């Protein structure tokens, strides 16, 4: 059991305006779970000894950030110049993903990717790996070591890409099934059946996607939908029998409340209504949509249809692992659409809302007792500018807003997974170590001169 005393924020319900903010709160954690969250004064009044807490007076604790759409191998294509989706895939992404045929390299990538998640305060993610079974294994292994609640899947793609990345309908099925048996429900891990997009799958493969999801109904499905206009035009030639892009999935039953479609920028009214009727989920990926020139997602329109919209980085089409950066770009995209995304809605989305979209909210996303203790400690003095600007704010909403506009990984002081410290910002450490080293060198010198 341990207790942290600090400023604490979370969203205990689906209504972002009903946030809970404690200016001086205590978070009690035991065996990886939240045991209690209360004002320090209340705890003390009930006989709790506040001296047993680790006290972080100026910091802000909130639930771990959740990212509902990202690609682990694309850590190595992030920030690649000058192309839109289809050319970007061919020029940068497919060649980068082919390198993961090398198992040792795939392991190194998985470790680096997981480290980036932790350094950015992302405690849960839904991840596309590559079409190599061992690359999915590597990501699951890294997450398992750290007891992370993570969902991932081997990419299924059996046409329209370089040979080195293609599986077959049969092999994609067999390998996915083996991975599901090994990892789905193993510790905190979950499996997402992962057809890359209908453009790189034959009808036979899309049938096998539906079959896997029928055999394992509590797996997820993740894929891409309606991201880019050239992609949509091309899709019509790849699936001439589908009446629209969504139908290329729907015809095979690849649509339900455990399906997460990435992007969804150029949907027709009919597609939106059908997504809403099936309860399927959308991942809004603003840094990617801007970077690849894909278009401006219409958050308000999707919300008006009651579609659960989550928010995601889409690394490496997306340009940052930091969900603060994602929220900042989401704000700007929404501004272009005439909607002002407020800070409470934004931070609800990236914690509780994303947990709800992935149907993980019974486990993570807020601090109600019994939830798993995934949380971050934010340092309001992460940079001189942020520290200065924070002191001008009048309330927590203004403070959160400046984090989403100015913030990045520097805000993350600590990341806890399942009640265990898994990341701590190195600055003070490095400084301390350097200081200790210098100190011991001086002592050694003194010893020598004394000797």
Residues with Cβ within 8 Å of residue 108, at least 6 apart in sequence? none
Kindly tell me which of 221 and 396 has the beta carbon lying closer to ligand GUN: 221
User: Considering the rule CB under 5 A, would residue 408 count as an interface residue with Zn ion?
Assistant: no
Cite the beta strand spans of 217-295 per DSSP E.
Answer: 220-225, 259-263, 281-284
Binds 201: which of ligand GUN, Zn ion, none (CB < 5-8 Å by kind): none
Least separation in angstroms between residue 442's CB and Zn ion is 53
The reply to whether 262 sits near Zn ion by the rule CB under 5 A is yes
Give CB contacts under 8 A, 24+ apart, made by 162-167.
162/94, 162/95, 162/98, 164/98, 164/101, 165/94, 165/97, 165/98, 165/130, 165/131, 166/131, 167/131
Q: Binding of ligand GUN at residue 201 (CB under 6 A)?
A: no
Going residue by residue from 26 to 45, which x/- string records binding to ligand GUN, judged by CB under 6 A?
--------------------
> Is 227 or 372 the residue whose CB approaches ligand GUN more closely?
227
What is the token pair recorded at 418? 């399942």
Which CB sits closer to Zn ion, 64 or 262?
A: 262
Residue closest to ligand GUN, measured at CB: 317
Asked if 286 contacts 272 with a C-beta cutoff of 8 angstroms, the reply is no
196 binds ligand GUN (CB under 6 A): yes
CA distance 408 to 122: 12
Its sign, for the CA torsion 252, 257, 262, 264, is: positive
Sole binder of ligand GUN in the list 63, 153, 286, 317 (CB under 6 A): 317
Mask 47-86, x = binds ligand GUN (CB under 6 A)?
Answer: ------------------------x-------------x-
Using CB under 5 A as the binding rule, whether residue 314 contacts Zn ion is answered as yes
- Taking CB under 5 A as the binding criterion, the range among 85-93, 110-118, 193-201, 307-315 that sits at the site for Zn ion is 307-315
Rounded CA separation 310/313 (Å): 10
SS3 content of the chain, % helix, strand, coil (to 5): 45, 20, 30
Token representation of residue 348:
């609800």
Give residue 365's region: left, alpha or beta (phi > 0; psi -120 to 50). Answer: left
- Choice from 219, 288, 322, 326 touching ligand GUN (CB under 6 A): 288
Kindly state the number of chain residues that form the binding site for Zn ion, as judged by CB under 5 A.
2
Residue ranges that bind Zn ion, judged by CB under 5 A: 262, 314
Residue ranges that bind ligand GUN, judged by CB under 6 A: 71, 85, 89, 93, 196-197, 224, 227, 288, 314, 317
């Amino acid at each position: 059991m341990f207790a942290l005393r600090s400023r604490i924020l979370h969203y205990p319900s689906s209504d972002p305006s009903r946030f809970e903010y404690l200016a001086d709160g205590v978070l009690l954690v035991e065996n990886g779970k939240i045991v209690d969250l209360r004002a320090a004064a209340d705890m003390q009044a009930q006989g709790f000894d506040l001296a047993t807490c680790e006290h972080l007076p100026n910091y802000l604790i909130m639930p771990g950030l959740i990212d509902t759409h990202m690609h682990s191998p694309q850590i190595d294509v992030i920030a690649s110049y000058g192309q839109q989706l289809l050319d970007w895939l061919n020029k940068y992404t497919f060649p980068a993903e082919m390198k993961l045929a090398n198992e040792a390299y795939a392991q190194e990538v998985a470790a680096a990717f997981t480290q980036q998640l932790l350094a950015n305060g992302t405690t849960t993610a839904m991840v596309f790996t590559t079409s190599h079974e061992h690359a999915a294994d590597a990501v699951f292994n890294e997450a398992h070591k750290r007891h992370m609640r993570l969902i991932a899947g081997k990419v299924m793609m059996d046409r329209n890409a370089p040979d080195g990345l293609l599986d077959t309908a049969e092999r994609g099925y067999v390998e996915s099934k083996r991975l599901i048996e090994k990892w789905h429900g193993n510790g905190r891990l979950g499996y997402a059946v992962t057809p890359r997009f209908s453009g790189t799958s034959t009808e036979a493969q899309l049938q096998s996607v539906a079959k896997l999801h029928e055999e394992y109904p509590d797996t997820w499905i993740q894929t891409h939908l309606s991201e880019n206009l050239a992609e949509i035009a091309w899709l019509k030639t790849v699936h001439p029998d589908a009446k629209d892009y969504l139908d290329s999935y729907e015809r095979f039953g690849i649509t339900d409340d455990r399906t997460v479609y990435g992007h969804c920028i150029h949907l027709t009214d009919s597609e939106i209504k059908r997504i809403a009727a099936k309860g399927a989920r959308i991942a809004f990926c603003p840094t990617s949509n801007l970077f690849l020139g894909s278009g401006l997602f219409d958050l308000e329109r999707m919300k008006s249809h009651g579609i659960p919209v989550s928010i995601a980085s889409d690394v490496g089409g997306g340009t940052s692992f930091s969900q603060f950066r994602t929220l900042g770009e989401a704000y700007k995209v929404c501004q272009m659409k005439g909607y002002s995304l407020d800070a409470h809605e934004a931070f609800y989305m990236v914690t509780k809302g994303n947990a709800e979209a992935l149907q993980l909210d019974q486990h993570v996303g807020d601090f109600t007792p019994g939830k798993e203790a995934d949380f971050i400690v934010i340092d309001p003095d992460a940079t001189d500018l942020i520290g200065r600007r924070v002191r001008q704010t009048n309330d927590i909403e203004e403070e959160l807003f400046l984090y989403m506009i100015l913030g990045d990984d520097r805000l993350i002081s600590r990341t806890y997974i399942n009640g265990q410290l898994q990341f701590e910002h190195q600055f003070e450490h490095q400084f301390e170590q350097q200081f200790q080293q210098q100190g011991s060198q001086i002592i050694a010198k003194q010893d020598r001169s004394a000797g």
